[in-house]
Structure 1
């Protein structure tokens, strides 16, 4: 049973998105369903607000009243999500949830399948983008789950540890 997990949109009571996310994650953990329900997401963006002359960055929900769930759809996963407190239903005609298309996922800014990297601890890399672009460094740690590398970069005559994304480096 090697079904591919797909993204589904779940409708929630407005203002309950984070609670629903936490509830689904707790149920998944308690029931050991990590292999069926992979990820729960409340899409947010950073908004800069100026109050009393002070700049504040607030996280604003992009789709209030909706939560995205990456899961393999079967009777159990459907039942668990559908019956989570705060969920009013899946988005789709009638009772049949419809997964998001690849184009919809891309338009929402959900990044799928991060690139694998053939770098190991001790390799020398070149930074290809970001604030440390064109710097060289030595890999000290590889985090496959977060898709990041800890790299020692020589800056101002001393070794400085920085965390970089897999997409920001190239092996030399």
Structure 2
């Protein structure tokens, strides 16, 4: 019987506990042949708060863990009775993920390991003050946002003309 991916529902905030427990089950060798791997898809997110970059890890699927396993009474029992698990998605008869779902999820986790997603602390139209660089102390309005670069385009008034200036998230503060 070939191993397939199943979705396990956990109590809120217990994903890491379930992930670690199932990793131990695999490493102990008891069901290591039948339970192939456990996945808790996450991504690194960079937020700017109070002018400082904070890197946090965010879960793609809060309250869920993915398990690649062969479906048997032993594997279902081991997973279902792991601390923090509420059950399988699909109820009493766990339903495997379809091939395209697995490819999409695995592709998403590979992509997220290569890139960080920046959480944008500004919206287009927000009034901001530039606090560093050649336009220090200029007030402006956010015109465009570039989350992948961690920058925004701010329209500032230079000699009475609106001029676009590209500025790092950390070099501006919102004007309330």
TM-score (norm 1): 0.59
**Residue 101 of structure 1: aligned partner:** 98
**Residue 11 of structure 2: aligned partner:** 13
SS of equivalent to 1:108: helix
CA-atom RMSD in angstroms = 1.8
* 1:22-75 deviation digits (Å, cap 9, x = unpaired): 111112333532111011111111211112212122110011000000111111
**Residue 112 of structure 2: aligned partner:** none
**Residue 172 of structure 2: aligned partner:** none
Shift of the 103–69 alpha-carbon distance from structure 1 to 2, 3 Å rule, reads same
How many pairs were matched up? 109
Gaps of 5+ in 2: 109-176
Distance 1:106 1:30 in 2: 28
Distance 1:17 1:83 in 2: 14
Distance 1:87 1:109 in 2: 22
Which of 14, 39, 56 is residue 37 of structure 2 equivalent to?
Answer: 39
**Residue 61 of structure 1: aligned partner:** 59
Distance 1:65 1:54 in 2: 29
Gaps of 5+ in 1: 112-172
Larger helix proportion of the pair? 2
Distance 1:49 1:104 in 2: 29
* 1:112-134 deviation digits (Å, cap 9, x = unpaired): xxxxxxxxxxxxxxxxxxxxxxx
Q: Which has the higher contact order (CA 8 A, sep 6+)?
A: 2
Distance 1:28 1:79 in 2: 14
SS of equivalent to 1:81: helix
